[in-house]
Structure 1
Amino acid sequence: MIRALVADDSALMRRHLTQLLESAGGFTVQTARNGVEVLEALQSFDPHVITLDVNMPEMDGITCLSRIMSEDPRPVVMVSSLTEEGAETTLQALSLGAVDFVQKPGGTISLSIDRIHRELLMKVRSAATTRVRRSTGLRGRLAAQRRRPAPSGPPPQVSFAGCRPGLVLVGVSTGGPGVLEEILPRLPKDFPWPVLIAQHMPSSFTGVFARRLNDLCAVSVVEVARQMPVEPGTVYIAKGDADLVVTRRGIGYSATPLPQSDAHIWHPSVTRMVESALALLPANRLIAVQLTGMGDDGAEAMARLRAGGGLTIAQDEETSIVFGMPQELIKRGGASAVLPSDAIAEQLIGWLRAPEAGTRTGERRRGS
């Protein structure tokens, strides 16, 4: 049985979430009204997973999360509103170590709970099996964020002279905000290929997320809310609740948002993005990166990209919050390299500063 701790200051919300989990089977549920009760329950109940509201009396969700991750790490799923303020707070929580988030029901709670029923169960079950690591706590994490961007990135003399034009395509889901905050600030301002990212995320989050990343990175980071030409030194975040595809623009290419495709399960769709790039560019002018997340979105398309002469990276199991997406790429023989998150930017830089970027000379697997 999965021991789930439901933390919310609303008695009605606690009751609905408890009924949802218990009726699904496989859960033993205890509730808490605030962060203080959550910390007490860590010892008395020893939960496998926690659903955590942000706004609670006595101790709010962010402070509570920071204490959990620094003192007794457990998988936490944030229950968040989809307002811009809610998005900012949720992204902060994900940066502090929360595994995932679900939309906080609004309006008639019982009807809203029905709409998120499947998503909440899937994310809570997945989170319960996730390994989490101890963090330095809120004060230390926020201090580290103020010092960014100062990762151990490439020296300023790195040259990309002679690098052929191409695209980096990144697919990511659960755990994505934290790992992207680790990888992207390591890219130099003159990184020679545009980077397109399909991160499974609602539309109210992606603009906030792009602005947050832009503040952390030497490269520019923008949300693709309209068609825009792709340029070196720029990262393009797909707008949530839509799909991002590569289209031709004169002698160059554009990042173009399209309505969600019913043929794809997850959105923004990694598969659709990679397939659109393969339809326009030779595979050896593409690099695909499959990061942490549930499911197999993008795995088959990235495997085809590698088979056609392109390069691919799968994030390793140790640093993935959820190993599903990278594992599916590896299973298909589609990973040129399997790397921890802190080595991915270095590998991208190494491939593109090589005399023949896009060759297979750089293929490797960590530990081999």
Structure 2
Amino acid sequence: MIRLLVVDDSALMRRLLGGVFAGEPDFEVAFARDGVEALEAIAARRPDVMTLDVQMPRMDGLACLDRVMLENPLPVVMLSSLTEAGAEATMEALRLGAVDFIGKPAGAASLSIDALAPRLVEKVRAAAGARLRRSHRLAERVRLRAGLSAAGNAPPRSPQPTPARAGPLPRLAAPPGAPPGLVLVGCSTGGPTALDALLGPLPTDFPWPILIAQHMPANFTGPLARRLDRLCALTVEEVTRPVPLRPGHAYVGRGDADLILGLRAGGPVAMAAPSDPARRWHPSVDRMVDSAMEHIPAAALVGVLMTGMGSDGAAAMARLRGAGGHTIAEAEETAVVWGMPGELVRAGGADAVLPLDGIAPALAALLGAPEGARGARR
């Protein structure tokens, strides 16, 4: 049985969300009206997973999430407003440690909850089984516990995290000759923080462009790209129009569309294409990889499949490897949800299976690029 805590100041939303999960045989649901009640309920009930609204009285969702992730970490799915302000708050929630988010119904919520329900249940069920990164905000947790211990009020000790196995770097040879190739990255649940870890160590002069398909709605991929651009030495931008590809740049596919590769007179371009209705997730990783293989030799492509539920990207990256390309899957020990990379591994389509902190060094070694410092471009 999955113990779920629903936190929302709206009585209507609590009733609607409770009704969604009441119809699921594996959920036991409790409720809280704000962040203060949520912290009390967590201490009393020890839920397995929590849905959390952002705008609430007394203690809002971000303040509550910050406390939870430092004191009693558990998987959290944010209910986010589909506005620019809501998207920025969601990016902050993911930075603080939320596993996933879903757009909150607007207007007549009682009419839209039925359409939202299947995806909401799927996301919360996946989050309940997610692996929280034990290293995430570890220094802050240590400082908090040290302060409480000095005050004579230390919480129960938790096991110390063990570092992920570094593992051997893949023995891959960089494709000979110009023009440069492409790195193709796919991720979903847990992806924004995984992208921090992947892009952060790469230098400004990283030799190949990077295309990124992160499953997200359209209002959220712009804020994601801007956040990554602030944090990384690479230049990161959202693809909303045809964009010529340049080394030292990473291109985030626009949400609710697909990111594909095309050719123009000046060379390859990244483009936002209308989402393919035959594919469930968007931007589609499979479609991105397949489009790249249409225009670039497989030996000049590197696919990286990271955390996310489902199987998007696994089939196309397996084809890429079979055609002579290179592929890296994130290891189960660091993936928040080992769905997408796990499917690639099970299909025999991964050249290397690496923990998250080993992927950037592997790319740098493959392409002969020294690792850079986070924020070096600034």
Give the structure-1-normalised TM-score: 0.88
Which residue, out of 335, 345, 364, partners 1:349?
364
Contact 1:269 1:297 in 2 (8 A): yes
Q: Which amino acid in 2 is paired with 1:108? A: A
Tell me how far apart the structure 2 counterparts of residues 315 and 209 of structure 1 sit (CA, whole Å).
Answer: 21
Which residue, out of 253, 267, 287, partners 2:268?
253
Displacement of 1:43 in angstroms is: 2.2
User: Is 1:216–2:231 an aligned residue pair?
Assistant: yes
State the partner residue of 1:107.
107
Contact 2:133 2:334 in 1 (8 A): no
Which residue, out of 191, 199, 209, partners 1:194?
209
Contact 2:184 2:304 in 1 (8 A): yes
Displacement of 1:42 in angstroms is: 1.2
Tell me how far apart the structure 2 counterparts of residues 52 and 120 of structure 1 sit (CA, whole Å).
Answer: 12
Q: Could you say what secondary structure the match of 2:30 adopts?
A: strand
Identity %: 56
State the partner residue of 2:84.
84
Displacement of 1:133 in angstroms is: 4.0
- Matched residues, number: 336
State the partner residue of 1:321.
336
Tell me how far apart the structure 2 counterparts of residues 347 and 203 of structure 1 sit (CA, whole Å).
Answer: 31
Q: Which amino acid in 1 is paired with 2:320? A: L
State the partner residue of 2:168.
none
Q: Which amino acid in 2 is paired with 1:68? A: V
Contact 1:270 1:298 in 2 (8 A): yes
| 1:87-166 mapped onto 2 (5 Å cutoff) | 87-133=87-133, 135-136=136-137, 164=178, 165-166=180-181
Contact 2:71 2:141 in 1 (8 A): no
| 1:237-252 mapped onto 2 (5 Å cutoff) | 237-250=252-265, 252=267
Q: Which amino acid in 2 is paired with 1:15? A: R
CA deviations on 1:55-87 (whole Å, 9 max, x unpaired) are 111111111111111111111000000111111
Tell me how far apart the structure 2 counterparts of residues 203 and 239 of structure 1 sit (CA, whole Å).
Answer: 6
Displacement of 1:131 in angstroms is: 2.2
User: Is 1:182–2:190 an aligned residue pair?
Assistant: no
User: Is 1:3–2:9 an aligned residue pair?
Assistant: no
Any gaps of 5 or more consecutive residues in structure 2?
A: 143-173, 370-378
Tell me how far apart the structure 2 counterparts of residues 181 and 27 of structure 1 sit (CA, whole Å).
Answer: 33
Tell me how far apart the structure 1 counterparts of residues 204 and 308 of structure 2 sit (CA, whole Å).
Answer: 27
Q: Could you say what secondary structure the match of 1:328 adopts?
A: helix
Q: Could you say what secondary structure the match of 1:24 adopts?
A: coil
Between 110-119 and 283-292, report the one with greater CA deviation. Answer: 110-119
Tell me how far apart the structure 2 counterparts of residues 59 and 251 of structure 1 sit (CA, whole Å).
Answer: 53
State the partner residue of 2:375.
none
State the partner residue of 2:319.
304
User: Is 1:48–2:63 an aligned residue pair?
Assistant: no
CA deviations on 1:211-270 (whole Å, 9 max, x unpaired) are 111111111001000011111111000000000111111251010111011221111000
Tell me how far apart the structure 1 counterparts of residues 265 and 321 of structure 2 sit (CA, whole Å).
Answer: 27
Tell me how far apart the structure 2 counterparts of residues 225 and 138 of structure 1 sit (CA, whole Å).
Answer: 37
Contact 2:260 2:270 in 1 (8 A): yes
CA deviations on 1:266-325 (whole Å, 9 max, x unpaired) are 110000000011111111000000010011111111011111111111011111110000
Contact 2:133 2:336 in 1 (8 A): no
Any gaps of 5 or more consecutive residues in structure 1?
A: 142-159, 355-368
Compared CA separation, residues 15 and 137, structure 1 to 2 (3 A): farther
Tell me how far apart the structure 2 counterparts of residues 351 and 34 of structure 1 sit (CA, whole Å).
Answer: 49
Tell me how far apart the structure 2 counterparts of residues 318 and 58 of structure 1 sit (CA, whole Å).
Answer: 37
Contact 1:66 1:137 in 2 (8 A): no
Tell me how far apart the structure 1 counterparts of residues 95 and 348 of structure 2 sit (CA, whole Å).
Answer: 31
Tell me how far apart the structure 2 counterparts of residues 208 and 276 of structure 1 sit (CA, whole Å).
Answer: 25
Query: RMSD across aligned C-alpha pairs, in angstroms?
Result: 1.9
Compared CA separation, residues 25 and 64, structure 1 to 2 (3 A): same
Give the structure-2-normalised TM-score: 0.86
State the partner residue of 1:281.
296
State the partner residue of 1:65.
65
